Structure 1
Amino acid sequence: MKKYRINVQGMTCSGCEEHVATALKNIGAANIETSFHRNEATFELPDDVMIETAQKAINEAKYQSGDAEVIETHDAPVLGDEGDYDFLIIGSGGAAFSAAIQAVEYGAKVAIIERGIVGGTCVNVGCVPSKTLLRAGEINHLAKSNPFLGLATSTGKVDLEKLVEHKNELVASMREQKYEHLIGEYGFELIRGEATFVDEKTIEVSGRLVTAKRFLIATGASPSIPDIQGLRDVDYLTSTSLLELKQLPKTVAVIGSGYIAMELGQLFHNLGSDVTLMQRSPRILKEYDPEISEAVTKALTEQGIHLITGVTYDRIEASGDLKQVHISVDGEKKVIEVEQLLIATGRKPNIEALNLNAANVNIGSKSEIVVDDFLNTSNPRIYAAGDVTMGPQFVYVAAYEGRIAADNAIGGLEKKVNLEAVPGVTFTSPSVATVGLTEEKAKAKGYEVKTSILPLDSVPRALVNRETTGVFKLVADSKSLTVLGVHIVAENAGDVIYAATLAVKFGLTVEDLRDSLAPYLTMAEGLKLAALTINKDVSKLSCCAG
């Protein structure tokens, strides 16, 4: 018995769902679920019924069947007898643990290889440590300059060493609970050491040769260092080393202005450092819609962060205990002199020690491991997931991919990765959240688009918070008004974006958002207001989006 998901076009109501379900039931399908919102049907078929039979039944019911994929099977794992392990995973982050847990549930013999600290980037040097320090910075900033008249708040000297110590305690606790403890809980093996492929089915680790039926490479990524004259000759910080500083620097320069640069730059600004953000491109967040870039630029500038765009880096020099960054902007030479220099210009895949040539695994132009829609590499034994493939670099994407890799490698399924509705959040203040297509990308895909741009000062929650720098933007198909993308700059944007993700994923329309109830005086109400104002003047609406 296999479970399938099939795209079905032409369903417009619950009655259509019943017609499709009846057609599938008549050919022996079971556990049928149909959805006209998602344009799909899921169902189980006996092994002697071909998926083509289901597609034909749907077509004969006057609907249009599309692509089908296997999403679950009740058969035993499709593996041979060779190898020390069924599934050997290199890395121990989100993708690795998700894959290991899923593979164990299939009954596979699984081992994880880790050369350093268990848990990968997120819990050790990424999401968890940075976000807890960001929260500390936000509290310090609000205490120094809250927006309410009549409320007196103040701050003392920041003890960065104590903050970092407290952060490390949280990291250690979460690493133990969410990673190390699970190794014994699920019964897979941890092998310590550096993994190197000897051939297509053998790895050497700590002098030991290990073979497996299937492999997963989930080694993540690490900070990429640009080629700037003199940079290698000075002490600089990365997103990893900056989180271990014990003394708060008076001045910090950040090369780069992606999400890592902005988050960590604002962190040190909020703790009391004088911060300069620099980047080569003419605007920050260049891959985002211009309205998002403009709102973030305004917010950072209002807060007192120095932002320099269109930079050419000439050289970097040491001057005593200071660093001098020599730059050119519009032909004008400038020197930025600071105590600490943070390099935040992107990340590169961790593949150096793997000897992928021996395994016949192809890499791409950015040294990423190239995978197909099923996360299979050029070697059919080997899969890859997470940041090492240079897809969306979020731990939840890595975990999602790890599970799919295990389903395909061990479960024998043929699941495709679907990253069309991946939410992304930048944890600045205000935060930035986005999902789906930008206006430019929607047009490039051939859509005629209609947009709604709602300034944050039209959202009641922002008014009562007295924090009104930001924006909501909806991108919709002009004909069907299907929501193609949502982009937000606002406090708690990361919480709001989940509702927007569901709208994009399941093909909701602007009318669906307008007809939904949104609680008054929440930031989520901005999503409904943006839908309401796609063809109305927001100033002519009542205070509670009536």
Structure 2
Amino acid sequence: MTHFDLLLIGTGSGNMFLDDRFSGLNVAIAEEWHFGGTCLNVGCIPTKMFVYPATIAEQAADATDYNLSTEFNSVDWSALQKRIFDRVDAIEAGGRDYRSGDRQPNVTVVAEHVHFTGAKTVRTASGQDITADRIVIAAGASPVIPAAEGLEPQLVDTEGYPVFTSNSIMRIPAKPERLVIIGSGIIAMEFAHVFAGFGTEVTVIARGPRLLGNIDEEVSQEFTDLFERTHTVHRGAEVASYSFDDDQVSVTLKASGRLGDVDLPSQIDADAVLIATGRTPNTKGLNVVDAGFDVLDDARLSVDSRQRVLAHGQPVPGVFALGDISSPHQLKHVANHEADVVGDNLTVDVAAGEPGAAAEADLREVNHHAVPGAVFTSPQVAYVGITEEEARQAGHATSVKVQKYSDVAYGWAMADDPGIVKLIADKSTHQILGAHIVGHEASMIVQPLIQAMAFGQRADEVAKRQYWIHPALPEVVENALLGLELDGD
């Protein structure tokens, strides 16, 4: 049995806080997969490096609204992959080398899977037992693969099997001519945009009545209406079975029950299927129940406001968690914030002596207020705060304003491209409760609203006490703010 002062499980955002503050500790890092985690290797970074050229391709293929005669001919798929993954893989290798090499002699990399056998004990896949005084669990999440007749889950993401998840779809050797995407959330919509933009015939299978169904209902419906103008979508459907014939995969559909009776094709043939039905925290694979840790109904590891892992509702001394394995937000910027909090609290915990000896007042609390998100599809979607329905259920006297992109001058420049900004505010306090945007550069123009919510700025002050560049696109946000009906106006 090998003992360490600190054991870190996972090298995504969990790898960020391990700096000079911990150079005096004997540290082990357990990583069975790629250094850098989901975001670097199969998530945020490579997907956006595909999204941007796909957006350019889409614009080239459909520019007649702007009185242009342009076209999109093809994508050099292998060259695009090389440009993206030469950079990504170099960063991954550099991170691994840094932690494994002579520059950090106090760090030992355990390059295999581990699982808990006790609160402070793990066992490696090769059978080695490791104990540690303090542990940080940052093992992320994995794709959900719904069961269906004919599907062999253990073959998904393996060579020669034409069913993929986001873990492998970007590295397929050739762009599929026909792709079925199962799912209607963020991952599904972004990949639908990528492959459709590059000329693939994409079919989306959605269980619910709308796409991006977890966001504000009105905004979700707006996105669904716009997306269905240019994409094939079967809503209220789910896969009944898979069949495979040479290089082709076929799916049969059935009604999901969430949209009543729906007219569905008998069979859809494709070169590949992408399963994008969400991600689940990796708690089961770690056997966290054997450690006595609390697990929530959605499989997340239970933590308190200081990111301490809980057992029977109480913090386990010296055990912290962060990121997708425990966070209510599967977002890289949230995981980074949580890693910052864990780093500070771990420093205080070490300085206190015994694990768990730090005073509560000396520990930072995590801030999950005004958490924003964005979907880099076509059109873009961005959101922060609560939905209109959530605001009403919470008892707010709400004011709601929906502003069209086409109402401002930059919208005219875009030939009245569709898009809306929806704001929800409290009439009496003038506080912005939620902002939801569908349209061009939504991920950028939402930022003033994120800032306003983060710092408690009133909607009327944000609208009137600063300059808004004319005729820039953020004027649609300004006009939405000005359109809110607030007490005292």
TM-score (norm 1): 0.77
Equivalence map 1:276-355=2 (5 Å): 276-302=203-229, 304-329=230-255, 330=261, 332-334=263-265, 335-355=267-287
Give, in angstroms, the shift of residue 187 of structure 1. Answer: 6.7
Q: Note if contact 2:234-2:264 (Cα within 8 Å) is conserved in structure 1.
A: no
Corresponding position: 1:91 with 2:10: yes
| 296, 301, 326: which one aligns with 1:364 | 296
Q: Note if contact 1:100-1:188 (Cα within 8 Å) is conserved in structure 2.
A: no
Q: Deviations over 1:13-60 (max 9, x none)?
A: xxxxxxxxxxxxxxxxxxxxxxxxxxxxxxxxxxxxxxxxxxxxxxxx
Corresponding residue number in structure 2 for 1:194? 113
CA distance 1:216–1:325, change in 2 (3 Å): same
Corresponding position: 1:411 with 2:351: no
2:18 maps to amino acid: A
Give, in angstroms, the shift of residue 453 of structure 1. Answer: 0.4
Give, in angstroms, the shift of residue 290 of structure 1. Answer: 2.4
With 96-105 and 249-258 compared, the bigger mean Cα shift is at 96-105
With 319-328 and 365-374 compared, the bigger mean Cα shift is at 319-328
How large is the RMSD of aligned CA atoms in angstroms? 2.4
CA distance 1:481–1:188, change in 2 (3 Å): farther
Separation in 2, partners of 1:532, 1:276: 40
| 155, 168, 191: which one aligns with 1:241 | 168
SS at match of 1:404: helix
Corresponding residue number in structure 1 for 2:201? 274
Separation in 1, partners of 2:241, 2:21: 50
Identity of aligned residues (%): 30
Separation in 2, partners of 1:193, 1:527: 49
Separation in 2, partners of 1:376, 1:149: 54
Separation in 2, partners of 1:458, 1:324: 45
Q: Deviations over 1:279-314 (max 9, x none)?
A: 111111222222211221232123x21122111433
With 261-270 and 519-528 compared, the bigger mean Cα shift is at 519-528
- The number of equivalent residue pairs is 451
| 375, 381, 402: which one aligns with 1:426 | 375
Corresponding residue number in structure 1 for 2:63? 146
Q: Note if contact 2:162-2:247 (Cα within 8 Å) is conserved in structure 1.
A: no
Corresponding position: 1:381 with 2:303: no
Equivalence map 1:242-261=2 (5 Å): 242-261=169-188
Equivalence map 1:423-502=2 (5 Å): 423-466=372-415, 468-502=417-451
CA distance 1:332–1:219, change in 2 (3 Å): same
SS at match of 2:370: coil
Q: Note if contact 1:280-1:311 (Cα within 8 Å) is conserved in structure 2.
A: yes
SS at match of 1:450: strand
Corresponding residue number in structure 1 for 2:333? 396
Q: Note if contact 2:17-2:342 (Cα within 8 Å) is conserved in structure 1.
A: yes
Q: Deviations over 1:395-438 (max 9, x none)?
A: 11111111212322331332222212111010112211100111
TM-score (norm 2): 0.86
Structure 2 unpaired stretches of 5+: 154-160, 256-260, 350-361
CA distance 1:507–1:186, change in 2 (3 Å): farther
CA distance 1:242–1:276, change in 2 (3 Å): same
Corresponding position: 1:518 with 2:464: no
1:133 maps to amino acid: F
Is the radius of gyration larger for structure 1 or structure 2?
1
Q: Note if contact 1:104-1:188 (Cα within 8 Å) is conserved in structure 2.
A: no
Separation in 2, partners of 1:410, 1:199: 23
Give, in angstroms, the shift of residue 175 of structure 1. Answer: 3.1
